[in-house]
Amino acid sequence: MTLHREGTTIILTSLAICLILGLLNGLYIFPISSIVGAFIFALLSVMLVLVVQFFRIPRRQNTYQENEITCPADGKVVVIEETTETEYFKDKRIQVSIFMSPLNVHANYYPIKGTLPFVKYHPGKFLVAWHPKSSTDNERTTIVVKNEDGKEILIRQIAGAVARRICYYGQEKDKVEQAGELGFIKFGSRVDLFLPLDAKIDVALGQKVQAKLSRIGFLS
Give the catalytic positions in this structure.
189
**Residue 104: Cβ within 10 Å count:** 23
DSSP letters of 30-92?
A: TTT-HHHHHHHHHHHHHHHHHHHHHTEE--------TTEEE--SSEEEEEEEEEEETTTT-EE
**Residue 11: Cβ within 10 Å count:** 17
Burial readout 16-26 (b: 16 or more C-beta within 10 A, e: otherwise): eebeebbeebe
For residues 141 and 157, is the Cβ–Cβ distance under 8 A? Answer: yes
DSSP letters of 164-175?
A: --EEE---TT-E
DSSP category for residue 189: E
For residues 169 and 182, is the Cβ–Cβ distance under 8 A? Answer: yes
β-strand pairing of 166-168 with 181-185: antiparallel
